[in-house]
Amino acid sequence: MNRPLVIGNWKMNLDYVEAVHLIQQLGVVLKNKPLEHVDLVVAPPFVDIRSVTSVVESERVALEVGAQHASVHESGAHTGEVSVSMLQRLNVGWVLVGHSERRAMYAMTDEVVAQTLRTVVRQGLNAVLCVGEELSVREVEAHQDFVSAQLHAALEGLDEKSRPLVTIAYEPVWAIGTGLTATTTQVGEMTEHIRTVAASLSLGDVRVLYGGSVNADNATALMNEGRVDGFLVGGASLKADSFLAIAQAANDCYDSKR
Ligand code: PGA
């Protein structure tokens, strides 16, 4: 079992004042009750990142800061985009790549996902590759093939030194923000499938996370029976107590199995 990773994806929520408030709350709780067996990351909106990293650094909050997206381009005439090097300068260590909302709403094709992932890892940042099927795909039982194709498109031919920087997040689109969590059996089957495909692409040790309506009540079962290495958390990451309860569950599962 890999050391777990729990990432809070704040999406387009919390302005910088609210973001500072949340990171301070997280800092206070983590100081009183450190979580030794889990890596924590929060991914705020771009405009909050500077404020959040300032608090993380000055108050030594035990987590890292990520971004929800980055431009596939390195610089230049790309109005509204943010480059990986700009994020790196802000001490961002992680970037979500190909979240299903970016794929569906902002025309992020498999090709752009693959190129973005390479841009991220080339600069030495960790890339969290998001994959997952729509409900219509699962209904015709094509979900494993669909996810395999997404993994191949993004990871085929990735150079050896970049591979340790990759994490995979399985997020079935129908489970995101819907309250419809995938069952532990569905998650377990897909996790195993993803590990097999990843191994065939020379990413044998990759961490595989689950995302989609994760909360404090389902996290333990998803860890144990779904055999995931952690979570990508949306809605429940917007409150310190629910985010940290999920982190605690991951921490305790790992601790009990070491
Ligand atoms: P959710 O979002 O936890 O609100 O379902 C997960 C995600 O989109 O990363």
- Return the domain boundaries, the chain: 5-257
The CA distances from residue 80 to 47, 76, 143, in Å, are 12, 11, 34
Can you give the length of the chain in residues?
258
Give the whole-angstrom CA distance, residue 112 versus residue 85.
18
Q: What pLDDT sits at residue 258? A: 85
**What number of CA atoms fall less than 13 Å from residue 185's CA on the CB side?**
0
- Output the CATH code of domain 5-257: 3.20.20.70
Ligand 1 binding site (Cβ under 6 Å of any ligand atom): 9, 171, 176-177, 211-214, 232-236
Answer yes or no: 74 catalytic. no
Nearest residue to 33 via CA among 222, 209, 241 = 241
Q: What pLDDT sits at residue 57? A: 98
Which amino acid residue places its CA nearest to atom 7 of ligand 1? 234
Which amino acid residue places its CA nearest to atom 1 of ligand 1? 234
Catalytic residue among 37, 64, 69, 99: 99
Answer yes or no: 171 catalytic. yes
pTM more than 0.85: yes
Which of ligand 1's atoms lies nearest the C-alpha of 9? 9
CA of 232 to the centre of ligand 1 (A): 7
Q: What is the dihedral of CA 242, 96, 111, 197, to 10 degrees?
A: -70
- With the most atoms of ligand 1 within 8 angstroms of its CB, the residue from 181, 214, 231, 246 to mutate is 214
Query: pLDDT tens string for the chain (258 positions)?
Result: 899 999 999 999 999 999 999 999 999 999 999 999 999 999 999 999 999 999 999 999 999 999 999 999 999 999 999 999 999 999 999 999 999 999 999 999 999 999 999 999 999 999 999 999 999 999 999 999 999 999 999 999 999 999 999 999 999 999 999 988 899 999 999 999 999 999 999 999 999 999 999 999 999 999 999 999 999 999 999 999 999 999 999 999 999 998
CA of 171 to the centre of ligand 1 (A): 8
Q: What pLDDT sits at residue 1? A: 83
Write down the residue that tokens 């395999």 correspond to: 148
Give the whole-angstrom CA distance, residue 54 versus residue 52.
5
